[in-house]
């Protein structure tokens, strides 16, 4: 996947960070360049960028807010803010791979060039992931850019992942590399071992389902496999004809576009995801 994003350096870095460091989109958008230690090949996760409504902003404890960024559209009813990590455990040190630290160094050089170009028009908030003039990037825009890239390179819709999916796949890869050291991997990702184990079991179930499909495709003659699918469809039609309530529920779900859309981005084949950024 990383090789396919060479034309978009910023998105390339975002994907690289999400997988290797198991970062949330808001954490990526909030990385402080002053916490990056090139010699020690590490950085600290100390803050995140988040969009909140004006109503929510008015009740947020002031000590949780580091900065409220100026609105680009004055009539907007929400603002981007810089705040502390999601939890105390989310405040953490991340060690970086050699390729990732090199990419970060290139990004830092690009930021310095942008500062010279924009001069006094540059908004220096100390952000690693930012617009050319230094202004913050909405984490949702990072998600949108990643989804659009996957569509461009013709990844099937049901196989696409969001940045949270990259974070999870990075965690699962580390679990296997560490021979199931959940405590170590959880601390690296800034979450509890219980949450990590839940994510792992969820992903493992997806792997089992994928394995079952592979067995079906390789073991049974094609005609039997097609007949099995036909039988399943016939059974479903019969159930719908006998159950008006089920018909209405299915129609409502189809109209809302809710059938499996969100779940498909959370549970993916881990071996495919582990190679997602190779």
Residues 133-158 have a mean pLDDT of 93
Q: What is the CATH number of the domain that holds 33?
A: 1.10.443.10
Identify the CA nearest to 28 among candidates 20, 38, 17, 37.
17
| Residues 162, 166: Cα–Cα separation, whole Å | 7
- In terms of domains, do 147 and 161 share one? no
Report CA Rg, the chain. 22
Q: Tell me which residue range forms the domain holding 93.
A: 1-155
Statement to judge: residues 87 and 187 lie in one domain? no
Note the Cα 11 to chain centre separation in Å.
Answer: 12
pLDDT of residue 272: 43
Q: Are residues 64 and 98 in the same domain?
A: yes
Q: Are 146 and 162 in the same domain?
A: no
| Tokens found for residue 100 | 């990732």
- Is the same domain home to 112 and 188? no
Confidence of residue 194 (pLDDT cuts 50, 70, 90): low
Tell me how far apart the alpha carbons of residues 185 and 174 are, in angstroms, rounded to a whole number.
Answer: 6
The count of residues in the chain is 278
Residue 58: is its pLDDT beyond 60? yes
Same domain, 128 and 163: no
What pLDDT is attached to residue 229? Answer: 62
Strand 92-95 and strand 48-53: pairing?
Answer: unpaired
- Indicate if the alpha-carbon torsion angle 127, 129, 134, 140 is positive or negative: negative
Closest CA to 97 of 184, 21, 163: 21
92's enclosing H/E stretch is strand 92-95
State how far the Cα of 1 lies from the Cα of 215, in Å rounded to an integer: 27
pTM: 0.67
How many structural domains compose the chain? Answer: 2
- Residue 270: the pLDDT is 36
Q: Which of 19, 50, 31, 21 is nearest to 130 (CA)?
A: 31
Q: Are residues 172 and 188 in the same domain?
A: yes
pLDDT tens digits, one per residue of 101-128: 999 999 999 999 999 999 999 999 999 9
């Amino acid at each position: 996947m990383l090789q396919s994003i060479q034309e978009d350096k910023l998105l390339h870095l975002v994907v690289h960070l999400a997988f290797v460091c198991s970062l949330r989109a808001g954490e990526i958008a909030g990385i402080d360049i002053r916490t990056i230690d090139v010699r020690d090949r590490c950085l600290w996760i100390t803050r995140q960028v988040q969009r909140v409504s004006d109503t929510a902003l008015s009740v947020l404890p002031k000590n949780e807010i580091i900065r409220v960024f100026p609105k680009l559209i004055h009539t907007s009813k929400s603002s981007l803010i810089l705040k502390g990590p999601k939890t105390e455990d989310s405040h953490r040190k991340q060690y970086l791979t050699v390729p990732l630290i090199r990419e970060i160094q290139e990004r830092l050089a690009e930021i310095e060039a942008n500062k010279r170009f924009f001069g006094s028009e540059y908004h220096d908030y100390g952000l690693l992931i930012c617009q050319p003039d230094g202004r913050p990037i909405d984490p949702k825009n990072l998600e949108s850019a990643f989804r659009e890239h996957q569509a461009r390179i013709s990844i099937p819709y049901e196989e696409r992942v969001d940045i949270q999916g990259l974070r999870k796949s990075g965690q699962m890869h580390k679990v296997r590399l560490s021979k199931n050291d959940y405590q170590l991997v959880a601390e690296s990702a800034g979450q509890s071992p219980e949450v990590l184990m839940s994510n792992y079991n969820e992903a493992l179930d997806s792997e089992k389902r994928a394995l079952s499909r592979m067995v079906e495709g390789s073991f049974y003659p094609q005609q039997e496999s097609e007949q099995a699918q036909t039988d399943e469809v016939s059974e479903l039609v019969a159930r719908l004809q006998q159950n008006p309530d089920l018909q209405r529920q299915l129609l409502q779900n189809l109209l809302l576009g809710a059938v499996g859309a969100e779940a498909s981005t959370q549970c993916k084949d881990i071996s495919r995801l582990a190679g997602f950024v190779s």
